[in-house]
Amino acid sequence: MENIIQKHDQELMKRENIKLVLSIIKSKGPVSRAEISRIVGMSPTSVGRIVEELINTGLIKEQGQVGNGVGRKATLLKIDSESVIGIGVEVDKDCIIAGAISFSGKILKKIEISRGVSIYTPENVSLEIGKLVKKLIKDLKINKDKVIGIGVAFPGLVNVEKGEIELSAQLRWEKVKIREILQKELGDLPVIVDNEMKVKTFAESLYGMAKSSHRVALMSIGSGVGSALLISNKIYRGSSNTAGEIGHITIDPNGRLCDCGRYGCLQTYIADWALIEEANKFRQIKNMDEIIQAYHNNETWACSIISRAVNYIGTAIGILVCLYNPDTVILSGRLLGNYPEIAKKIEDMNYNYVWEPLRESFKLEFSQMGEDSAIIGAGTLALVTGLDEFIL
Amino acid sequence: MENIIQKHDQELMKRENIKLVLSIIKSKGPVSRAEISRIVGMSPTSVGRIVEELINTGLIKEQGQVGNGVGRKATLLKIDSESVIGIGVEVDKDCIIAGAISFSGKILKKIEISRGVSIYTPENVSLEIGKLVKKLIKDLKINKDKVIGIGVAFPGLVNVEKGEIELSAQLRWEKVKIREILQKELGDLPVIVDNEMKVKTFAESLYGMAKSSHRVALMSIGSGVGSALLISNKIYRGSSNTAGEIGHITIDPNGRLCDCGRYGCLQTYIADWALIEEANKFRQIKNMDEIIQAYHNNETWACSIISRAVNYIGTAIGILVCLYNPDTVILSGRLLGNYPEIAKKIEDMNYNYVWEPLRESFKLEFSQMGEDSAIIGAGTLALVTGLDEFIL
């Protein structure tokens, strides 16, 4: 028993050490072997062996030399960020977007198709994703072997282990074994599926505002409303990967009937379609742009709609702060990204929506990643998940 | 560097192994050395050595023998649950309760004093706690050395590391270095302070309903309203130990003015004082008993008050489920413990207050630990915190 544990521990430790060295090269590179050895507290021999293995995989490469005046010059190492690629796909209510994501989180190429009039069946979606992936690989003129995996982000309740969509109101799917269907289209490319809010959060934690914070609450507002909690850069998923489903908390028991059948869910006050529906009670309005335009023209109905939405966004922030006690709250999504007026109004409220003793416990940020965070997160998730097998 | 890490790891591992063996004996005892060895996958020699050390501390003792028909009979081991004691103290709006807690979470003796008319200064409270602790030790006729530590639970925002009350609305304290003041009264007995909801949660995770669940949301309703999240039996504290402060989330922006200065906080609808205040708008009411009596008599005003409170408790459960995605929700506190009518009404609502896709994601439980969970939690926290030094 002890031997088995030891053996298992050794392999795990080897894998962890490789990942550790890789992450140092990724974050601090160009960096010398000696410096890595100093940072991670590993012997120069061990570091040398691991670096050798990593160079063989193509993930890192040598670049130039540096000297300190005396003795031998040290060779610097940096990652070859385009050595491997993850493809991230976002399936939204209106469109499908796919992007090739480099090892350093950069989008190498992005393509999308609008939903148009086609019916959104799991088979259709998988077919379209298959086409997008093939087109990306062709356009980039890369070898398929460089693609470590495909990550697909869906709105709704996603069972990551089973690769199933349990429920997606936006897509009108229920209990769909989507990974299986996708796998048929994508052949031997490994597929991973997850909830869109979770992958956005993952991207923020690696490349965005959440990078250097320990406890982060994110809220995304667009066609859906979701939130997530990051604890030391790990996503808190809850018992069935649905932690953070803030769109369906009751915010006003006497409020609007939600599509879930209950009164006054948060999303009925702040999702963009809800604002458009509300505006149409007053006059015919096609999109958010028209509402914002009317708001700029000081039209009462538009001011009322924006003002109420902002108040409820504030209330939601107050709830996130009380329940998650984060050091940072990050707001993202179409509504805030496209209409800085709304972000400004939230800032003007000066944290009044939060219980006073906690007002200084967090800082409020607006995501700078924009709409790409879902494909960056999904692609990186596929990369990270696939890397284990790639390394060893 | 590697050597330092290894040395540190060895000590850590020794300590962890001792704790592991101790926890096996605590949960499975009476148990033989051979069985422990099998369960934890450690060599009989290692287990023998650790057991020896534990017997020397007095934490465990031998008891009887068991045979399987062939060979030598095995001696059984069990913990000596009264070998060490933690004293748990709960400071509430109305009273101070202190209890001697055994190593197995039993209350050996409990005493309390009512607040009465005395002013609740930190010095007065510390003085009273000092008296209670001395009386407990005297009444139990035990040696002071058996007491490993004192844990004190306060309502409000508590900084555990600094031993400070940052804010307690109930006690009207702000920035009080309470551990320092307590330490003067308690001499060389180590003192630890924490938030009451956190220690209640700790008790539930060890001895209550949360024992065998992985992600548990607790909500306590009484003179205050608080919640907590347990992830794999560890309390999620957030960035400043205030995660779960659900009492001050805005539940109705057009609602009652709360003592925090904002409108419609949850506690203004479900805390017991809030219900009594509300009742007094109708006629003179002194306590919850009178409201419940009137509710049984089907008096309209009492039915309205209880009905609205129950609806808001449901709304709060819905929020906890959406944000924490727990497998179990545990409700506790005076309001539910003393008035099963209210618990029944919540059960009758049949989970309608939760977003439908998540209704089967959790089970709802009512705490069986009752009002003692705070002193059990605080005492056990002191025990567990002190045990590290006690063992090695």
Does residue B372 carry a pLDDT above 50? yes
pLDDT bucket at A245, cuts 50 / 70 / 90? very high
Spatial distance between the Cα atoms of A355 and A317, rounded to a whole number of angstroms: 10
Mean pLDDT of chain B: 88
- Phi and psi for A236 in degrees, rounded to 5? -85, 115
pLDDT bucket at A70, cuts 50 / 70 / 90? low
Contact A23, A16 (CB under 8 A): no
Contact B244, B226 (CB under 8 A): yes
Cβ separation B358–A324 shorter than 8 A: no
pLDDT at B327: 95
Which whole number is the average pLDDT over A219-234?
Answer: 91
Which whole number is the average pLDDT over B60-89?
Answer: 80
Cβ separation A322–B244 shorter than 8 A: yes
Does residue B74 carry a pLDDT above 60? yes
Closest CA to A194 of A33, A374, A354, A368: A374
pLDDT bucket at A6, cuts 50 / 70 / 90? low
Which of helix, strand or coil describes residue B70?
coil
pLDDT at B69: 63
pTM above the 0.80 mark? yes
Which whole number is the average pLDDT over B225-252?
Answer: 93
Cβ separation A325–B2 shorter than 8 A: no
Cβ separation B1–A42 shorter than 8 A: yes
**pLDDT tens digits for A28-43?**
878 899 888 888 888 8
pLDDT at B117: 43
Which whole number is the average pLDDT over B51-55?
Answer: 86
Does residue A67 carry a pLDDT above 80? no
Could you give the C-alpha distances from A306 to A300, A338, B85, in angstroms and in order? 10, 14, 59
pLDDT at A7: 56
- Nearest-by-CA chain B residue for A258: B355
Mean pLDDT of chain A: 88
**pLDDT tens digits for A160-213?**
999 999 999 888 899 999 999 999 999 888 999 999 999 999 999 888 888 888
Contact A107, A376 (CB under 8 A): yes
Could you give the C-alpha distances from B188 to A191, B144, B180, B368, B378, in angstroms and in order? 60, 10, 12, 34, 18
Cβ separation B355–A265 shorter than 8 A: yes
Contact B214, B232 (CB under 8 A): yes
- Sequence-separated (6 or more) residues with CB below 8 Å from residue A389: none
Q: Kindly report the length of chain A.
A: 392
* Better-predicted residue by pLDDT, A283 or B21: A283
pLDDT at A25: 85
- Sequence-separated (6 or more) residues with CB below 8 Å from residue B69: none
Residues in chain A closer than 8 A to B318 (CB atoms): 248-250
Pick A260's closest partner by Cβ from B243, B245, B355.
B355
Paired with B159 in beta bridges are B164
What share of chain B has pLDDT > 90, as a percent? 58
Which of helix, strand or coil describes residue B127?
helix
pLDDT at B213: 86
CB pairs under 8 A between A and B: 148
Cβ separation A157–B323 shorter than 8 A: no
Pick B355's closest partner by Cβ from A237, A241, A248.
A248
pLDDT at B390: 62
> For residue A321, what are its two tokens?
């702060």
Cβ separation A243–B325 shorter than 8 A: yes
- Nearest-by-CA chain A residue for B352: A262
pLDDT at B62: 87
Could you give the C-alpha distances from A147 to A109, A178, A325, in angstroms and in order? 13, 20, 39
Pick B157's closest partner by Cβ from A42, A214, A357.
A357
Which residue bears the tokens 């209890």? B99
Pick A1's closest partner by Cβ from B41, B352, B357.
B41
- Sequence-separated (6 or more) residues with CB below 8 Å from residue A373: A199, A200, A203, A204, A208, A332, A367
Q: Count the neighbouring beta carbons within 10 Å of the beta carbon of residue B368.
A: 13
Closest CA to A77 of A94, A89, A59: A59
pLDDT at A276: 96
Spatial distance between the Cα atoms of B226 and B267, rounded to a whole number of angstroms: 9
Give alpha helix (H) positions in chain B.
Answer: 2-28, 33-40, 44-57, 122-139, 178-186, 196-207, 267-270, 272-279, 288-296, 300-324, 334-338, 340-348, 373-391
Q: Of the ranges A356-360, A382-386, B388-392, which one carries the lowest mean pLDDT score?
A: B388-392
**pLDDT tens digits for B135-173?**
999 999 988 888 989 999 999 999 999 999 999 988 889
ipTM: 0.83
- The Cα of B329 is separated from the nearest Cα of chain A by a number of Å equal to 12
Going by their DSSP bridges, the two strands A95-102 and A107-114 should be labelled as antiparallel
